[in-house]
Amino acid sequence: MRKKLSYLIVVLLTTLPLMANEFVSDESHHFAPGDTINGDLFYAGGQMTFKGYAPSDIWTATETSRISGEVYDDLFGFSRLVIVDGIVGGNVFNFAETIEISGHIKGDLFAFGQNVKLVDGAVVEGNVFSGSQRFYLSENSTIKGSLHSGAETAELQGTVGGSIELHLQRVEFGPEFSVGGEAELTLPEDYKKELVNAPDNLVVKYEIRDFFLDDIALYWGMISAVVIGLLLLALFPELHDRLGDLLTTHWAPGAGIGLAFLIATPIVIVLAIAVYPLAFILTALYAILIYLGIIITALVLGSLAFQDKVNKYISYIISVVVLYLLMAVPYLGGLFEFLAIILGSGLLIIYFWTLRKGKWQTA
């Protein structure tokens, strides 16, 4: 999972536009058939339906996104629900609770979430890279390239033209499933269920899965985060309430800003190499803000969950422990960590900006 995420970040860095042409931010927005975007589109909000034409990239940070039109280039998304039933001329990169594809993707698909579904009518001309709890490939869907997936469960019924490389806990092959290239499957050592309808050339490997709670680095990172977070609350007691308010009003813009920060800052650092001290300082600040992003996310989630019914120090300790346990979960842990980083860093940036504008007075 982490390797997939690292590869995704590299691809994002090479495709990120240096300037965007259109920004939209509201509760909901509908792009009707015939609407044409002038260049790249950045949208942050509640719900977006796109039925128009985008000559370049679309970037979204939403509750729900539906792409029913045509995107000439790449589609990037961070949402609870993403539906792609239109045409994407380039690659699709999506992080969501549920990702449902029934349209035509001419490039590669990078899909990370709880549910990744290629339903009837889905065609991916390139490769599919997926990390999820459940992966589904319907009978009337086609991947012309290769499939690389890590999931808890997978149901495979459609067609894969290239090879498959799967790391799964459980799997079901449909009677119509076919693969054109090599087929490799890794399962837990104690897997007992018979592999019915499996490809004839399937190579199955069995491995012992280490229990993730045995990782000492997990507890070291958790304790460090607890100590640093408690220090921040003690030194800046207003953080608890102010960031909690920002979460309820600015979670979508915060996630979008965090995603832009995570991807764009390395480009700025590279451009600043000519001024060596500046590049060094930016690199240090980048690493600090990424680490603080996890802490801030734990803080605001604790504020949201307990609503001042529990002491803010106790609520933070509980939330940071829960967050670190989620980040250690196999397959989905990397996704939880990524989401925590972009949400927390984005909210922290909005917080500093709000202070600068003078809305809040420093304590």
Q: For the chain, give percent helix, strand, coil, nearest 5.
A: 40, 35, 30
Identify how many contiguous H helices and E strands the chain contains and give both numbers: 6, 19
Please list the alpha-helical segments (H only) found in the chain: 2-15, 216-235, 239-271, 276-306, 312-327, 333-356
Report strand pairing: 164-173 vs 147-156.
parallel
- Return the pLDDT at 363: 40
- Return the pLDDT at 106: 97
d(CA 85, CA 102): 5
Within its chain, how far is the Cα of 29 from the centroid?
A: 22
d(CA 334, CA 210): 16
- pTM for this predicted structure: 0.64
- Return the pLDDT at 276: 59
d(CA 43, CA 24): 5
Residue 154: strand pairing partners: 135, 171
Angle at 167 between CA 164 and CA 169, to 5 degrees: 130
Cβ-based neighbours of 282, under 8 Å, separated by 6 or more? 265, 268, 269, 272
Contact 60, 74 (CB under 8 A): no
Report strand pairing: 109-118 vs 92-101.
parallel
- Return the pLDDT at 19: 44
Is the Cα dihedral 317, 320, 325, 326 positive or negative? positive
Contact 44, 28 (CB under 8 A): no
Which amino acid makes up residue 280? F
Residues of the chain with pLDDT under 70: 1-27, 208-217, 267, 269-276, 279, 330-332, 357-363
d(CA 342, CA 44): 14
3-state secondary structure of 313: helix
d(CA 42, CA 12): 15
Distances from the Cα of 282 to the Cα of 119, 254, 270, 351, angstroms: 44, 21, 10, 19
Summarize pLDDT for 137-190 with one digit per residue, the tens. 999 999 999 999 988 899 999 999 999 999 888 999 999 999 999 999 998 888
- Return the pLDDT at 24: 65
State both tokens at 349: 């940036």
What's phi and psi for 55, nearest 5 deg? -75, -10
Is the Cα dihedral 7, 48, 290, 130 positive or negative? negative
